[in-house]
Amino acid sequence: MTRRRKLIVFGALVGLFAVLGVGQAVLDAATQAQTVRAPRFEVDPMWPKPLPNQWILGSTIGVGIDSKDHIFIIHRGDSTLDQRTEAGAAANPPVGSCCRAAPPIVEFDPEGNVVKAWGGPGQGYTWPNSNHGLTLDNKDNVWIGGNGTGDTQILKFTHDGKFLQQFSQAGLPYNSNSRTSFGRVAKISFDVAANEAYLADGYSHKRVAVIDMTTGAMKRLWGAYGNVPSDSNYGRYNPDVPLIPQFRTPVHCAEPSVDGLIYVCDRPNDRIQVFQKNGKFVKEVRIAPRTLGDGSVWDIAFSRDPQQTYLYLADGKNEKIYVMDRKSLEILTSFGDGGRQPGQFFGVHSIVTDTKGNIYTTETYEGKRLQKFVYKGIGSVKRDQGVVWPKR
């Protein structure tokens, strides 16, 4: 090979390496753009443990946690289980030896064992026509609402199911400006320092309502953007027209944060609205705004660090959990997918975190289950993770 030819080959190789280097840099940049540092999770496919007594769950529409990291769920057992195909033992006469609905409220310990199960109609109170929402307060009392016809009341029980209080009566007229009754409350949350309960009120009313935790007395209420609530019918959500000035039903959550903000799930409007405690509007963000029908904003939980840095949002229509920066409301990543295997979702409805940072979700409609997602620390994750299956 002549010297001239060697120089030509050498030059070509240098050029090739330069091109490869630039290509790798571009590839690395593209990969980096598709990843982010955020909380990481893996589904625990072995949690919870099998239920005793041939119990099964119906549509599971509420989840809460007590001071010992015990998980409480509320579900719609007899009303959503098919006795021909699911609950043959409960048919009259029985059509098989399995199965039957668990009691409406089931308590699990951190290992996934059933500790206690209770609930249903009893003396001195009116049980909801349709169970919906469950939260435990700072004394580990259990609060529930309901979204059935005539569910204009809230119930409060001890940790073990002893009836304590009923706020308002069942069967009252709906009026989003009523100061004495509720309108099919979706969920209840607490500001313990102020002794206040925040109601996502809800399936008939179109508002956030704040009551005294002791007496149940109404303290304040508001609609979207802090407006006076209106029961006007704005029709179905249309992503191609301006946002309406009121909530649509259901208003599905109202979560107080450690820095005095209230995060509200305006579910069928595909938006989170943020307020000060007095109802003054702060900001909003739209989530998957072309989602129709059930909407994208179903329930919110916060990370357990002191600053509540992250917000976890359950989207039961698109079947995923969004991990968001709480203050900026930027979506960092998401996990989940539609399906029935562990780590997939069918109507992911409610969400809560324990003191270790683990996430628990429940699923409504035909989902009918509770899942645990184990917190694995902060790390690099894809923008869209899909099913977060355990790594071998």
- Whether 31 maps to a domain, the answer reads no
Instruction: Name the average pLDDT for the chain.
Output: 93
Burial class (CB in 10 A: 0-12, 13-18, 19+), 288: middle
- Whether 20 maps to a domain, the answer reads no
**d(C-alpha 142, C-alpha 159), whole Å:** 6
Q: Name the residue range of residue 217's domain.
A: 37-382
Q: Residue 5's pLDDT band (boundaries 50, 70, 90)?
A: low
- Whether 282 maps to a domain, the answer reads yes
Nearest Cα residue to 305 out of 341, 265, 349, 356: 356
- Whether 391 maps to a domain, the answer reads no
Nearest Cα residue to 142 out of 117, 123, 124, 171: 117
- Whether 13 maps to a domain, the answer reads no
Q: Residue 392's pLDDT band (boundaries 50, 70, 90)?
A: confident
Do residues 366 and 344 make contact, with C-beta atoms less than 8 angstroms apart?
no
Nearest Cα residue to 175 out of 204, 216, 212, 211: 204
Higher pLDDT pick, 7 / 227: 227
Q: Residue 13's pLDDT band (boundaries 50, 70, 90)?
A: very low
Nearest Cα residue to 222 out of 251, 180, 196: 251
- Whether 188 maps to a domain, the answer reads yes
Structural domain count, the chain: 1
Q: pLDDT tens digit string along 65-110?
A: 999 999 999 999 989 999 999 999 999 999 999 999 999 999 999 9
Q: pLDDT tens digit string along 249-264?
A: 999 999 999 999 999 9
CATH number for the domain that contains residue 155: 2.120.10.30
**d(C-alpha 355, C-alpha 70), whole Å:** 10
- Whether 97 maps to a domain, the answer reads yes
- Whether 17 maps to a domain, the answer reads no
**d(C-alpha 44, C-alpha 77), whole Å:** 24
Q: pLDDT tens digit string along 343-390?
A: 999 999 999 999 999 999 999 999 999 999 999 999 999 999 999 999
Whole-prediction pTM = 0.91
Do residues 309 and 38 make contact, with C-beta atoms less than 8 angstroms apart?
no
Could you tell me the sign of the dihedral formed by the alpha carbons of 233, 236, 242, 245, in that order?
positive
Q: Residue 4's pLDDT band (boundaries 50, 70, 90)?
A: low
CB atoms within 10 A of CB 89: 17
String of DSSP letters for 318-351: TTEEEEEETTT--EEEEE--BSSSTT-BSSEEEE
State residue 25's pLDDT score.
46
φ and ψ at residue 41, rounded to 5 degrees: -140, 155
Q: pLDDT tens digit string along 120-163?
A: 999 999 999 999 999 999 999 999 999 999 999 999 999 999 99
* 293: alpha, beta or left? (left if phi > 0; alpha if psi -120 to 50): left
φ and ψ at residue 37, rounded to 5 degrees: -90, 125
State residue 23's pLDDT score.
52
Query: What's the Cα-to-Cα distance from 376 to each of 38, 39, 43, 60, 361, rounded to whole Å?
Result: 10, 7, 10, 26, 17
Q: Residue 391's pLDDT band (boundaries 50, 70, 90)?
A: confident
